Structure 1
Amino acid sequence: MDRRKFISFLGKASAGALITPPFLIGCGSTTTPIAGENVSNSQLNRLKNLKLESIPASKVDDLILTNGMNYHTIIKWGDAINDKDTFGYNNDFTCFIPLDKTNPKDGLLWVNHEYVNPLYVSGYNYRNPNTLRTKEQIDKEMYNVGGSIIRIKEVNGKWEMVFNDPYNRRITAKTPIVFNWDYPICGKDSAIGTLANCSGGITPWNTFLSCEENYDDFYGETVYTENNKSYHKKSKYYQWEDFYQYPPEHYGWVVEINPKDGTAQKHIALGRFAHECCTLYELDDKRIVAYTGDDANDEHLYKFVSSKPSSLKEGTLYVADMVNGKWLPLDWQKQPLLKKRFKDQTEVLIRAREASKVLGATQLNRPEDIEIDPISGNVFVTFTNNKPKNDYHGSIVKIQEDNNEFDSLSFTYSTYKAGGEKNGFSCPDNLSFDLAGNLWITSDMSGSSMNKDDKPYKNFKNNSLFVVPRYGSQEGKVIRVASAPRDAELTGPWFSPNGKTLFLSVQHPGEQTEDKDNPTSKWPFDEDTIPKPAVVAITGDFIEKMNMLDKIV
């Protein structure tokens, strides 16, 4: 899109219309607005005159921030959270819920742990095919995925974990988790553990959502032939099925976690596939709309609409037909084509990818994060890339539900920004809107592709964090404000309730390391110089000015 068309495209706020608080509270966006606060003309004028400094692309092994931003580490892999548990590996999605709505500086932080690097976690060198694995190594890997709940407080301007707090706990690949469904999945009412936890969301009733993405890396997958005969396809990477024969069908779901007691459930009604995120919107009658995407080449975009208030069980799962602007119901009772291929609704949900293709849903270029613009109500989706189809840089797409009704079954869409050198970013991944409605973007170029002499990623160097201002002379321009350490990506951006802190994960630094004694990254530069995933808090004048905090305090 031409930058001059950005404002009419994204949707601009006028004075007195900063945020609609019930909207964000209901949909679980990455900000929690302060009710009753409006934007003054003087605030808008100051933001319009704010000049943002874009940092150049960097190959430096460090977390580099633009002027006016600074960071401190809250927690990193291996840190003890209580007397028995440690923080897991490869932290991704973060989500903060205050314990008391009146105190934005004390609350619970949920952090996903997506996958492990066996070289560090279990001592297994996966690059050496002659190395045999042991059950003990697998157990270590299973412990280091899932998620962590930690209580954190801001003390003298810095966020700190409260060690041994009663709320601190781990959810791992060995934690029993029930299915929120009336019928068993492969003969069971519960699964052993959660894994491949990528992005997520938050519910209107203040629980966490964690999404199981590349589940087939761990226990493989059940594959069906054209004649509907099944066979097991072995996992490509971790091969946990060599020691634990858990059904692949127990993974690939959206998991809900109660932060107060750690109880969890897997939501079958939302379908099974490589969930990147799950973003909710609460309708006036308290019914829930849930958007989620399947992060794989040629997969699909989904929307669940509940039929009962506050339910992620009763309702209908839809898949997007982008060509005709229709949401197609994955409903076994109403779709003859589904009845012909699948035996019941449970099987449709387990095999949602196949069911979507049977109905002719649009195959997309890795739909990842989905966020709802708090001002316009438009739905923004990142399509990271699809290299086999020569889409190397991805794009961000805007969806407008008909009549601005989120339970509508028809929509229009358009490309908001295409990745590439013209717009200054590649492979968009996570999105976040701040309190002023500015759009923040992280990138996800793979470690094996970055910083190579051959294009297409050479000039982008390390992965980065960008912001797209909504106001002023730079409105619509993509501005790089942070550069990740070597091999890492920046994930899980989440603003604190008062807008003064951006929580951010630094995931898989040094991932391309082949020799532990010669790592490709040493971030975060602690005493043993081993690269460690970590969660940081970013603060400073830049964050506060972008969130218009000259008034909101």
Structure 2
Amino acid sequence: MSGRTHGKRSAVTCLYKCDNACFHPAPNTSENGYFRDIANAVLSRRAALTGGAAAAAAIVIGANVVGGGQAASAAVPAGKGGAAFGFTPIAPVPYTVDAFTVPEGFRWDPIIRWGDPIFDAADAFDPMQQTAEKQARQFGYNCDYLDIIAHPNGKRAVLVANNEYTNAPIMFPPAATEEERLEQLRVTMAAHGMSIVELERKHKGSTWRYVVGAPRNRRITASTPFAVDGPAAGSDLLKTQDDPAGTTILGTFGNCAGGTTPWGTVLSGEENFNGYFRAENTGDSLTARGRRRYGLTPNASSYGWEAVDARFDARQPGYENEPHRHGWIIEVDPENPDEPPVKHTAMGRMKHEGANVTISASGHAVAYMGDDERFDYLYKFVSRDTFRPGKSAKARAHNKTLLSNGSLYVARFSGDSPASEITGTGALPADGQFDGTGEWVPLVVDNESVVPGVTTDEVLVFTRLAADAVGATKMDRCEDVQPSPRSGRVYVACTNNTARGTGTNEGATEVNPRNVNRDGHVIEITEAGEDAAATTFGWSILILAGDPSVNALTYFAGFPADQVSPISCPDNLAFDSAGNLWISTDGQPGTIGYNDGLFRVPLEGAERGNVQQFLAVPRDAETCGPVIHDTDQSVFVAVQHPGEEGSWEAQNSYFPDYVPAGALEGGKWGGPRPSVVQVTRA
């Protein structure tokens, strides 16, 4: 388990987070129309730019301003296209450093940590005495998606966080008995899911603290009952012996990114669910093909939950469909802690990174979603019904149904450069940028399948197979997909794909222009007519990531590469009040040798593309969230899997408390605890 994997993550991260995905062939073995074939048919840049897509592409192209800028060591002031608050970018932090690093003049404070009690102070954290019952009443492990939804008075808020996965070897001492081992498995089940807590503070701009026992506090775990809605609710593909109606599902896990809706609910994406199950995958039935396409195998699961809950062994009669009940977008209302969360089948089943909603010009809710797997796809959902503005209970109740019915699309990209100019190195083509047009190919329209020979519930349960059939473009791990609230342009973080161009795998394409793509890239999309519900779009690559000091073939929207902060493996995205893009990373220690961090990128004017590092997380950790309340002088991040390459006996990190190594004094634990952190001015 030592060292780094093909994807440049920690080996421990790969085992628990994605079931060692990089050690297996990519599940997408389809022969759909490759991007290179499309590019060969394009005779010129102008030939590709026709109709509404041409206008969209022209907007993207015209936004690429090449000009001077300030070096990464200079403070960047507030202003148009700049920051709502200025800071001096930090220097990259070597991957062996166990520290949370912020710019000069700023401070950081943990708001809540793994194991902190959220209902009763009597549930105080004690790693030597953890039980599943206690853990279900404490803040969960490995926080990922995060939002801080503030009350207008500025003194109250609610914090919502995903708890994606667990790492038992650094959470507990080795089990002394079989019963202790089984209880530790139950604890990990209770540590997954989501955590919701109320916050309070003295005044605007001060540090938040969470409130034990507040009315909206809530834990959602691997055993919480979920309602199911949409066209696949009640399908035979979702029924089990415990749920013969196929309308109530227990639990959520592998929750990665998410999104907060315009009506105030929170979405969460169920990502690497395959690693939690054992399932036979041989044969040519739809279910068998679907299992292979989603990476399910009959091998023992990464977590071993089948030892304490039979539903995780889908080889057993009555549980064959259990894996179909995971891999959805879920919706939670933080204002109603007694209301069951919902799994939305209309939005398709995949390894959802998350979902982010905007309202189109026609009033429809539009959600953008990435499927986080090598060579998988980018999706969009458009609601059947329209958004009702206003804060009335009636309007909110209606809006909470918008994701239950609608149309599901998958992206097909075309480039405007000859295939001979896409060399796989990252070298720009003759026109000076990677760009082109695209279309949203329908899979379901108003709840009805448009994939020949495939029913609606089959499209939604086996969405990857349906997308294969229509020739979607294979991508380099689409993670977070965020529409800008200011410009409406959509940003896609493609984290990496070290398998591209290797063996029989597809090689470089203009939208994924590097073979063995270890550093990743960010794509900028402009919908035709600037309408989120459009079916065509223009696109360009905003950032081709890496460390410019060692790789000259990086690109930062035309900004001088020698003046930016090095960045690799873009993951989560967010925006500030000035319209700047913020990028958190996952994997830098194994690619460019630095701790992961949070970076700001202006998108307009002379500073466009100037990547500036704001913070770095501790050793072995991933930067998640993030939430930018810049007008409030606050930035929030979720620090996931700090010290993950350590062990109980030899911990690698002591974040966030930094108690002396090995200390267990006064009830304090001296090992790492995933936490939500607030950064404010000192």
TM-score (norm 2): 0.67
Q: Distance in 1 between matches of 2:470 and 2:81?
A: 50
1:316-465 → structure 2 map (5 Å cutoff): 316-323=407-414, 325-331=438-444, 338-340=451-453, 342=454, 344-389=455-500, 390-422=516-548, 424-445=566-587, 450=589, 457=591, 459-465=592-598
1:119-130 → structure 2 map (5 Å cutoff): 119-121=169-171, 123=173
2:418 match: none
Q: Distance in 2 between matches of 1:438 and 1:355?
A: 36
2:352 match: 275
Unaligned runs of 5+ in 2: 1-58, 67-76, 124-136, 312-321, 387-398, 415-436, 501-515, 549-553, 555-565, 660-667
Residue number among 70, 73, 90 corresponding to 2:110 in the alignment: 73
2:37 match: none
* CA deviations over 1:278-325 (Å, ceiling 9, x no partner): 000123554210101001111110000111123101111101111361
1:535 match: 676
Opposite residue 528 of structure 2, the aligned amino acid is D
Change (3 A) 1:216 1:192: same
1:50-449 → structure 2 map (5 Å cutoff): 52-59=88-95, 60-83=97-120, 85-98=137-150, 100-101=151-152, 103-121=153-171, 123=173, 134-155=181-202, 157-181=206-230, 183-184=233-234, 185-186=238-239, 187=244, 188-220=246-278, 223=281, 225-226=283-284, 228=286, 230=288, 233-234=297-298, 236-246=301-311, 247-262=322-337, 263=339, 264-309=341-386, 310=399, 311-323=402-414, 325-331=438-444, 338-340=451-453, 342=454, 344-389=455-500, 390-422=516-548, 424-445=566-587
Opposite residue 524 of structure 2, the aligned amino acid is K
Deviation at 1:500, TM superposition (A): 2.2
Q: Distance in 1 between matches of 2:278 and 2:252?
A: 14
**The residue matched to 1:179 in structure 2 has which SS?**
strand
Deviation at 1:440, TM superposition (A): 1.1
Q: Distance in 1 between matches of 2:546 and 2:467?
A: 30
Deviation at 1:225, TM superposition (A): 4.7
Q: Distance in 2 between matches of 1:519 and 1:433?
A: 35
Change (3 A) 1:505 1:11: farther
Equivalent pair of 1:279/1:370 in contact (CA under 8 Å): yes
Q: Distance in 2 between matches of 1:92 and 1:107?
A: 19
Deviation at 1:404, TM superposition (A): 0.6
Change (3 A) 1:473 1:291: closer
Equivalent pair of 1:61/1:486 in contact (CA under 8 Å): yes
Q: Distance in 2 between matches of 1:205 and 1:197?
A: 21
Change (3 A) 1:469 1:327: closer
Opposite residue 163 of structure 1, the aligned amino acid is V
Change (3 A) 1:228 1:314: closer
Q: Distance in 2 between matches of 1:437 and 1:123?
A: 46
Equivalent pair of 2:230/2:405 in contact (CA under 8 Å): no
Q: Distance in 2 between matches of 1:45 and 1:253?
A: 36
Deviation at 1:509, TM superposition (A): 0.3
1:444-523 → structure 2 map (5 Å cutoff): 444-445=586-587, 450=589, 457=591, 459-470=592-603, 474-496=607-629, 498-513=631-646, 515-523=647-655
Which structure has more strand as a fraction of its residues? 1
* CA deviations over 1:250-273 (Å, ceiling 9, x no partner): 111111111122321001101111
Equivalent pair of 1:180/1:267 in contact (CA under 8 Å): yes
Q: Distance in 1 between matches of 2:614 and 2:599?
A: 5
* CA deviations over 1:15-64 (Å, ceiling 9, x no partner): xxxxxxxxxxxxxxxxxxxxxxxxxx995499699673342333310111
Opposite residue 326 of structure 2, the aligned amino acid is Y
Opposite residue 261 of structure 1, the aligned amino acid is N
Change (3 A) 1:42 1:378: closer
Q: Distance in 2 between matches of 1:308 and 1:228?
A: 31
Q: Distance in 1 between matches of 2:256 and 2:595?
A: 20
Equivalent pair of 1:276/1:293 in contact (CA under 8 Å): yes
Q: Distance in 1 between matches of 2:60 and 2:459?
A: 40
Deviation at 1:430, TM superposition (A): 0.8
Of the structure 1 ranges 70-79 and 227-236, higher mean CA displacement relative to structure 2 is found in: 227-236
Deviation at 1:529, TM superposition (A): 1.3
* CA deviations over 1:2-24 (Å, ceiling 9, x no partner): xxx99953699xxxxxxxxxxxx
* CA deviations over 1:150-185 (Å, ceiling 9, x no partner): 001123622101111111111111100010135322
Opposite residue 507 of structure 1, the aligned amino acid is Q
Equivalent pair of 2:574/2:583 in contact (CA under 8 Å): yes
1:30 match: none
Deviation at 1:387, TM superposition (A): 1.0
**The residue matched to 1:209 in structure 2 has which SS?**
strand
Q: Higher Cα Rg: structure 1 or 2? A: 2
1:31 match: none
Q: Distance in 2 between matches of 1:445 and 1:413?
A: 26
Change (3 A) 1:144 1:301: same
Identity of aligned residues (%): 33
* CA deviations over 1:493-529 (Å, ceiling 9, x no partner): 112484421111111001111x312111111114421
Q: How many residues align?
A: 490
Which structure has more helix as a fraction of its residues? 2
Equivalent pair of 2:82/2:578 in contact (CA under 8 Å): no
Unaligned runs of 5+ in 1: 13-40, 126-130, 452-456, 542-553
1:2-13 → structure 2 map (5 Å cutoff): 9=63
TM-score (norm 1): 0.82
**The residue matched to 2:154 in structure 1 has which SS?**
strand
Q: Distance in 1 between matches of 2:593 and 2:92?
A: 9
